[in-house]
């Protein structure tokens, strides 16, 4: 079978422009046609949608009739009785864009997977490092925790001790406050006593200026008479001068009276005239201990007054005449 070469040229008309479409080689043949035949397509309306009909003119002498070629949507050419279909895959601009987009999407997806895998690896390494650090720091943290616990217990103990000390200090403060108040009261009393002593000193100075011939001893003035009188007369003399017969309450006063009397006997302010056998001093106090001579007192009802000798006391009748000693107590006079 012989094949002839057919050449078809498609001319497409539009409103303003005419585009020339690439020439296509169409191989078609019959048993009797061996030479190449050229067909030319004239003016195919571009506004019609496929399938369209293209008129072919044969340049071969044996072909005088027009041949129409039917162009289908799948790019298949039918030429007369000789039909040879050849499908060649063609890609339009939109298909290329889609392919490029698909490839770009795949590349982006791969890059995202790589980045995600890298992030996961970095995160795993970071977590592993942190876990290692935490494992190493755990004993230190436990040690610190134990130390802090011990310090907390010590602080609690100190707080307890300080609380107790504060209570003790408050108690001491209260006691000291009370003592201070007591001292203030004592200070007031001492101030009053000082004022009283100042008054007594002034009075004592006045008394000293008025008592010529009197002896001073232990806050008392003593007058030793050179005359002899009965007990009542001697006492009257002392009372007229703001004094009374001497009262002897202890050994010191006894020795002092013996000394100032220069060995003479003298009346003292002791008597049992009010009740026999019950000796009282002139100030009304009862005798507790005396300095009696041997066998004294022995006069019973007739001897109711007392005379002091260097050897001791003796009871005598109150009308007998003896020297006497007057005693003037300073404080007693100031009080009175």
Are 88 and 74 in contact by the 8 Å Cβ rule? The answer is: no
pLDDT, position 212: 64
Q: How far is CA 96 from the centre of its chain?
A: 78
Of 223, 318, 230, the C-alpha closest to 273 is 318
For the chain, 336 residues long, give each residue's pLDDT as a single digit of tens.
333 433 333 333 333 333 333 333 333 333 444 444 433 433 334 344 444 444 444 444 444 444 444 444 344 444 444 444 444 455 567 888 888 888 888 999 999 999 999 999 999 998 888 888 778 778 888 888 999 999 999 999 999 999 999 999 999 999 999 999 999 999 999 999 999 888 877 777 676 666 667 888 887 888 999 899 999 999 999 999 889 999 998 898 899 999 988 889 999 999 998 888 899 999 999 998 889 988 888 877 788 999 999 999 999 999 999 999 999 887 654 444
What gap in Å lies between CA 39 and CA 37, rounded to an integer? 6
Label the pairing between strands 215-216 and 220-224.
antiparallel
Residue 311 corresponds to which tokens in the numbers above? 């050897």
What pLDDT was estimated at residue 274?
85
Among positive and negative, which fits the CA dihedral 95, 97, 100, 104?
A: negative
* pLDDT score, position 209: 60
Give the C-alpha separation, 267 to 129, whole Å: 120
66: closest CA among 37, 32, 25, 34? 37
* Residue 274 φ/ψ, nearest 5 degrees: -80, -30
202-207 contacts: CB < 8 A, separation 24 or more?
Answer: 203/330, 203/333, 203/334, 204/330, 204/334, 207/328, 207/330, 207/333
Q: Is 177 helix (H, G, I), strand (E, B) or coil?
A: helix
Contact assessment for residue 305 and residue 273, using Cβ atoms and an 8 Å cutoff? yes
- Least Cα distance to 79 among 58, 50, 48, 49 occurs for 58
Question: What superfamily would CATH give domain 215-335?
Answer: Mannose-Binding Protein A, subunit A (3.10.100.10)
Helix (H) or strand (E) holding 69: strand 67-71
């Amino acid at each position: 079978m012989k094949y002839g070469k057919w050449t078809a040229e498609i001319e497409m008309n539009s409103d303003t422009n005419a585009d020339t479409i690439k020439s296509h080689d169409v191989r078609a043949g019959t048993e009797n046609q061996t030479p190449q035949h050229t067909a030319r397509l004239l003016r195919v309306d571009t506004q019609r949608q496929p399938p369209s009909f293209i008129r072919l003119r044969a340049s071969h002498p044996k072909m005088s009739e027009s041949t129409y070629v039917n162009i289908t949507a799948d790019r298949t050419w039918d030429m007369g009785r000789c039909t040879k279909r050849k499908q060649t895959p063609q890609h339009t601009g939109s298909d290329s864009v889609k392919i490029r987009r698909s490839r770009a999407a795949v590349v982006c997806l791969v890059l995202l997977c790589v980045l995600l895998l890298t992030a996961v690896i970095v995160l795993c390494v970071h977590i592993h490092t942190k876990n290692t650090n935490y494992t190493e720091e755990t004993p230190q943290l436990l040690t610190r925790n134990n130390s802090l616990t011990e310090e907390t217990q010590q602080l609690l103990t100190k707080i307890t001790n300080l609380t107790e000390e504060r209570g003790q200090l408050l108690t001491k403060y209260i006691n000291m406050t009370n003592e201070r108040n007591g001292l203030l009261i004592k200070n007031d009393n001492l101030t009053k006593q000082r004022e009283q002593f100042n008054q007594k000193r002034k009075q004592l100075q006045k008394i000293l200026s008025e008592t010529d011939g009197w002896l001073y001893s232990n806050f008392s003035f003593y007058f030793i008479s050179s005359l002899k009188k009965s007990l009542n007369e001697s006492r009257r003399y002392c009372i007229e001068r703001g004094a009374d017969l001497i009262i002897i309450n202890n050994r010191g006063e006894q020795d002092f009276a013996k000394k100032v009397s220069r060995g003479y006997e003298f009346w003292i302010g002791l008597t049992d005239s009010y009740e026999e056998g019950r000796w009282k001093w002139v100030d009304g106090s009862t005798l507790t201990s005396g300095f009696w001579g041997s066998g004294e007192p022995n006069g019973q009802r007739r001897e109711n007054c007392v005379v002091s000798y260097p050897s001791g006391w003796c009871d005598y009748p109150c009308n007998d005449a003896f020297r006497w000693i007057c005693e003037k107590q300073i404080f007693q006079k100031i009080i009175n």
